[in-house]
């Protein structure tokens, strides 16, 4: 399996970005700012719209070395030749997803509770590559999300997880130290980049903060 850098992981929000064209502009600026991974997420888009958006984002990322991850939709990830897929607890189960996408494509899973972690840990070795852990804070980006777990909840899951974890859910620049202290390998962000007046500068600040913050002793 391919291993990517998820330290600053942009999850797109079409509404916050002002539409599909805004998503492409945001991704372009985030790449210029040093973003390390991009996930396309648009639960309101039709299959065709999501394919078109994902393919366009892939075009923006081409040559940058930044991977494209598609949220929820294995069919779309395969159709556009994405680098990975991310699924949630209510989406296609990880074993079926792995069977569909093959052994080399990246596969991430959202977890929110110790029970979710236990189930993920019990999956066959090689099924998953990464856990998205949260929400750390309540966020309007996902109205059906589980209750916020805070950084203590993140730390417990990171401690017990056999897989690398990224935090997600209302995260901003000032959270980098707490994320690293909890054991996360990265931060998945939406509003910290999407909808910002200068997505490139916002991304650069996140990347700089992550790189300059010491790992916990």
- pLDDT category at 1 given cuts 50, 70, 90 is low
Q: Does residue 172 register a pLDDT over 70?
A: yes
- Is the pTM higher than 0.85? The answer reads yes
Mean pLDDT value of segment 78-83: 98
Asked whether the predicted pLDDT for residue 57 surpasses 80, the reply is yes
Question: Is residue 142's pLDDT more than 70?
Answer: no
Nearest to 71 by CA among 136, 155, 122, 141: 141
All domains in the chain, ordered by first residue: 8-212 (3.20.20.70)
Question: How confident is the model at residue 144, as a pLDDT?
Answer: 61
Buried-state track 165-190, b at ≥16 Cβ within 10 A, e below 16: bbbbbbbeeebbebbbbbbbbbbbbb
pLDDT at res. 175: 97
Q: How confident is the model at residue 217 (pLDDT cuts 50, 70, 90)?
A: low
Looking at residue 144, what DSSP letter applies?
Answer: T
- Asked if 67 and 38 count as a contact pair (C-beta separation under 8 A), the reply is yes
């Amino acid at each position: 399996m391919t291993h990517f850098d998820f330290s600053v992981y942009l999850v797109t929000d079409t509404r916050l970005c002002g539409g599909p064209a805004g998503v492409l502009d945001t991704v372009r600026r985030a790449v210029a700012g040093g973003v390390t991974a991009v996930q396309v997420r648009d639960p309101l888009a039709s299959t065709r719209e999501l394919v078109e958006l994902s393919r366009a984002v892939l075009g923006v990322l081409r040559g940058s070395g930044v991977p494209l991850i598609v949220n929820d939709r294995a069919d779309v990830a395969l159709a556009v030749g994405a680098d990975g897929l991310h699924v949630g607890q209510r989406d296609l189960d990880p074993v079926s997803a792995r069977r569909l996408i093959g052994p080399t494509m990246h596969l991430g899973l959202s977890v929110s509770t110790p029970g979710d972690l236990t189930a993920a840990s019990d999956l066959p070795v090689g099924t998953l590559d990464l856990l998205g852990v949260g929400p750390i804070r309540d966020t309007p980006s996902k109205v059906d999300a589980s209750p916020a777990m805070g950084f203590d909840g993140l730390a417990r899951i990171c401690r017990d997880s056999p897989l690398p974890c990224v935090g997600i859910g209302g995260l901003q620049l000032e959270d980098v130290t707490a994320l690293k202290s909890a054991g996360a390998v990265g931060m998945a962000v939406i509003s910290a980049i999407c909808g910002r007046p200068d997505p490139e500068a916002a991304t650069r600040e996140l990347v700089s903060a992550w790189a300059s913050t010491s790992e916990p002793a």
